[in-house]
Structure 1
Amino acid sequence: MKRIRLIASDLDGTLLDGRKALPAGLADTLARLAERGIAFCPASGRQYQSIVELFPEAAGALPVIAENGALVMLEGRELASTTIAPAALAGLLARLRSLPAGANERGAVLCGKRSAYALPGRFSDEVRRYYPKLEVVEDFAVVQDEILKLALFDAGSAAREIHPHFAVLALELDLQVVVSGEHWVDVMAASVNKGAGLRAVQAALGITREETMVFGDFFNDVEMFAEAMHSYAMANALPAVAAHARHRAPGNDENGVLRVIDGMLAAA
């Protein structure tokens, strides 16, 4: 078996526990990985700036897959990105404006390269926890930025309440709609996913899928599983997601990612 040279991990529901906290001992594990020449890559639907806040060293050292693969950074520089075409974005925003009111609280975040954008209101105040670089605008149409993703929130079930309103339109506009969490749906260019982001990292570092280990728990991790010989679904993953991974890891509240990595390091 080829030795592991790259480890990519989803964050929410995977590396982070239920309180959105990093596991104890992570810094020590990252140091040991670096000593052995093994790259660690956070891979998340989160904004790049949000990931950097969790991993202060990321800006200068780690590869980072952000915005579900729409933005890939390496040593603080853009390695790859895929944006939504202006015509497709106009169609998305028109659908957003015509979205009927639902039974639950809803919100939207326009995710650009320079910043994220939200409309005024209580939702924009709460969303700063996930998008530390956020501008509040009166209308998304005034935003001047390269747009990576439209993130849609529903306090109930995003898959049931939001996804159907955008699924057909996304196909017409050469986009895709991905359920990225219980309350979130992301709309991105059709070619965007964490797997494509991981391939960009592998190519830049000269690493093969046989030398890659990945961890994930949700539907937006499935393509990433396919790009790694050593793919782990968390114990808390949905069965339909776990079916795409070769192995299982203990849950995110059981320090599952670090337990697998530490076991691999001990056996190497």
Structure 2
Amino acid sequence: MSIRLVAMDLDDTLLRDDWTISPRVVKAIQKAQAQDVKVTIATGRMPVSTRPYALQLGLDVPVITYHGAMIQQVISGEILFRRVIPSKLAVEIIRDVLSRGFYAQVYLKDRVITSRFNELSEKYARISSVVIEEADLVSTISQEPEGVEKILLMAEEADLDRLVPVLKQGYGEKVHLTKSKPYFLEMTDTSVNKGVALAALAERLGIAREEVMAIGDSFNDLEMISYAGVGVAMGNARQEIQAQANIVTATNQEDGVAEAIERYVLGEPV
């Protein structure tokens, strides 16, 4: 069965280390689209940080952001799906992690907010090309009638790994915990992840699971790699990610996305 939908993670997958898309990757995606293959992005990033890349590639399919908590049309900005962490729960979590000394950011549609700027927020703003607001997180969340799309904690990987069991014990049935980078621990509503969102998008487009390819590199990509008929791990992905994939392609620095599309979607020799 041929591939009719390709979903790609952004950071360390579609993007090179300098946060650009290589010409070879752009060409492969454009060739796939010319053959009526739908191509989309599935990322933990917020919509405003995702949109420039989607526009660069001319994507005509809704993009998956916040690990699946939001699906949005690229050009119009119309929100097709949104699932949040309820405000009361988000406040409880924020109070908990701040009391433990962790740096946190919360996401409200196209806003990202932290209680205090530091080197972590500066690094994140540079990577994602977004403006981070500084405000009291508890007060900000409390004023939001619905909730927040995502909570992000940034710290050394060992510190986050020690925190995960604590968060699972307290909130494991209420939020979905994942990592997009070793030093990013992210929380969304328990019902959403990239796999759930990709399945919903494929159904919306009338595309069977077997006709879907998903490409990623990190823990937050595991659900969509497992869902897709063809799950692809990047060559720069950790071994535990590669072990869950059907295929391992080249690294993000070696045009791994292009290699996967050329070989398994376009049927070209690589």
Structure 1 position 244, deviation (Å): 1.5
Q: How many residues align?
A: 261
Q: Deviations for 1:99-137, whole angstroms, at most 9, x for unmatched residues?
A: 1x4xxxx52110111411122322433332345454523
TM-score (norm: length of structure 1): 0.88
CA distance in 1, matches of 2:37, 2:5: 5
TM-fit CA distance, 1:160: 2.3
- Normalised to the residue count of structure 2, the TM-score between the two structures is 0.87
**Which aligned pairs between 1:190-205 and structure 2 lie closer than 5 A?**
190-205=190-205
Cα drift, residue 161 of structure 1 = 4.8
For structure 1, which segment, 217-226 or 235-244, has the greater mean C-alpha deviation from structure 2 after superposition? 235-244
Structure 2 residue ranges without an equivalent (≥5): none
Contact persistence 2:233–2:245 (CA under 8 A): yes
Supply the distance in 2 between the matched residues of 1:118 and 1:217 (Cα, whole angstroms). 27
How far apart, in 1, do the equivalents of 2:113 and 2:268 lie?
46
- Structure 2 Cα separation of the partners of residues 57 and 169 of structure 1: 42
Determine if contact 1:154/1:162 at 8 Å carries over to the other structure: no
Identity of aligned residues (%): 26
| Cross-structure match for 1:229 | 229
Do the aligned residues in 1 keep the contact of 2:95 with 2:138 (CA within 8 Å)?
no
- 1:112 maps to which residue? 108
Tell me whether 119-128 or 143-152 shows the greater mean CA deviation: 119-128
CA distance in 1 between partners of 2:125 and 2:256 (Å): 28
1:152: which partner in 2? 153
1:172-219 C-alpha deviation (Å, 9 max, x unpaired): 6x1122122111000111111100110121011111111111111111
Q: Are the structure 2 counterparts of residues 130 and 147 from structure 1 closer, same or farther at C-alpha, using a change threshold of 3 Å? A: farther
* Closer/same/farther in 2, CA of residues 82 and 130 from structure 1, 3 Å limit: farther
Distance 2:50 2:158 in 1: 25
Cα 1:236–1:59 shift into 2, 3 Å: closer
Letter in 2 for 1:81: R
Which residue is equivalent to 2:6?
A: 7
- Quote the Cα distance in structure 1 between the aligned partners of 2:13 and 2:122: 26
Residues 19 and 155 (structure 1 numbering): CA distance in 2 closer, same or farther, change over 3 Å?
Answer: farther
Q: Aligned equivalents of 2:69 and 2:177: distance in 1?
A: 13
SS in 1 for 2:222: helix
Query: Cα RMSD (Å) of the superposition?
Result: 2.3
